[in-house]
Structure 1
């Protein structure tokens, strides 16, 4: 069953998690329902892609209102396709929420066990990973393009949570809307790195199309990496949405030839917001 439910034209929610934990807000935005024009039409949430900054702020305020999660409680990152994570506290709220300049530099993943913080990252084909360990109130999100995936940013998150006393079997993961295997063609260099990140004997998440060209399933590769860390298969949800195929819903860096907007992943505990 598809884990991401289109709640309205502007975002999808992780339905299963939301029903289990009503105080949790977690999901992924679409490209619809915003103020941006042209290549960024209309709900572009990325400051770094050449869009009018005022429109991006208006779009973010619109999403904040839809989610009932004030923009001043968001955090955002620069994102450089690396595997560096940052644990967030309430003292960090607002950084990167309304400007790229004030975002966390060199970060591709966030996690926190504090309420009243919305962790956000930008996407337009890369894989958004969502993490939750409900017993410990820990949540996280990571940006996994091919570099972050073969660098095993998913493993990095599980390891970081291990230092917090959280076992892999206590962790649930959702793999969100991103480019699918048939739309994602890579060269031998990428596949060589993919092979290094896999267990011997595992199912290959790619297919040879012709000499030097392969179709790569980044979602499946992340699933295999997570299984290797000890996260149970039953704890992993995978979307069927493709950022490239579903052109009526999402921006796609590949499909749109690099000139396009960005969606965001978001996750946060919001149960005490009314008292903040």
Structure 2
């Protein structure tokens, strides 16, 4: 199994490696402990794609052979106990738009063309449908309501973070599923860490004053800053009413592990996509 390089940021042991044959993936014990869901975050291992997409690329839009991508989905489906026909994909454009998934959405963006645009968050209370969102440095956000049996999955880069995507998801689940923030169990997934994420003054200004000071630190070069998206999203979740003991913050950075995880910054854009999967279990 690949030896992960773990960041000094995040929560130690918040995320663990699992293996199914050659396929390695990551899980949050905190989400598993709810007993309500199946979930994972993919790595680059165990797929059939090649070249810059090697091997577990889940993107149909970056130039990979679609047949290889579909086989990769099938292999992930085997781990989750489902298939691509029961998966629903986002259509990410760095918004805070959220879509409530039902049975009619099954296969959307995977087995068939997407029927919607500009969707960075997915929620559902339908068991057996796997929500899917995509990453190569941005932040995956997982939401599980084990009381009202509802789930959510969101993509949050710096634009989504500064716009409060995590809070938007909490509010949406409150309104649609009667979820209570203090009952939600959440996770902030593998993405770029503060040590690797250098930004300019234009981005820093949008965070300054709206987040705890530790989220933004002076950069390694003059006029630059290091942005901690993990702690920014944790702060948003806390302000939205999620309990601190119900938030798992990864310590796995995509940019620190480019042979194992796709990183846009580390690869200079020559890469495939990782994906987060989250599925509500059947009551039985």
Structure 2-normalised TM-score?
0.90
1:272 Cα shift?
6.2
Cα distance change on mapping 1:66 and 1:5 into 2, 3 Å: same
> How far has the Cα of 1:196 moved from its partner?
5.2
Specify every segment of 5 or more residues in structure 1 that has no aligned partner in the other structure, as ranges.
none
Q: TM-score, normalised by structure 1?
A: 0.92
Runs (5+) with no aligned partner, structure 2: 1-11
Runs of 4+ in 1 over 4 A off after TM superposition: none
SS of equivalent residue, structure 1 residue 255: helix
- Matched length: 268
Counterpart among 254, 259, 265 of residue 270 in structure 2: 259
1:103 and 1:204 mapped to 2: Cα distance?
A: 40
Map 1:58-137 to 2 at 5 A.
Answer: 58-99=71-112, 101-102=113-114, 104-137=116-149
1:51 to 64, 72, 88: 64
In structure 2, distance between residues paired with 1:150 and 1:263: 23
The correspondence for 1:142, drawn from 146, 150, 154, is 154
Partner of 1:4: 15
Could you say what secondary structure the match of 1:147 adopts? helix
Q: Distance in 2 between matches of 1:133 and 1:197?
A: 27
Q: 1:76-118, CA deviations, whole angstroms, 9 ceiling, x for partnerless residues?
A: 022001110011111211111235x326311001011110100
In structure 1, what is the Cα distance between the partners aligned to 2:239 and 2:222?
30
SS in structure 1 at match of 2:78: helix
1:176-187 to 2 correspondences below 5 Å: 176-187=189-200
Matching residue within 168, 176, 188 for 1:175:
188
Which residue is equivalent to 2:43?
30
CA distance in 2, matches of 1:219, 1:77: 21
1:268 aligns to what?
279
2:32 alignment counterpart: 18
The whole-number CA distance in structure 2 between the counterparts of 1:249 and 1:114 is 32
1:230 aligned to which of 236, 241, 247: 241
Structure 1, 164-173 or 79-88: larger mean CA deviation:
164-173
Give the 3-state SS of the residue equivalent to 2:266 in structure 1. Answer: coil
Deviation at 1:211, TM superposition (A): 3.0
Specify the SS of the correspondent of 1:48.
coil
Q: Deviations over 1:215-247 (max 9, x none)?
A: 111011000111111111111101110011012
Question: Structure 1 stretch 231-240 or stretch 188-197: which is displaced more?
Answer: 188-197
Could you tell me whether the CA contact under 8 Å between 1:97 and 1:103 is conserved in 2? Answer: no
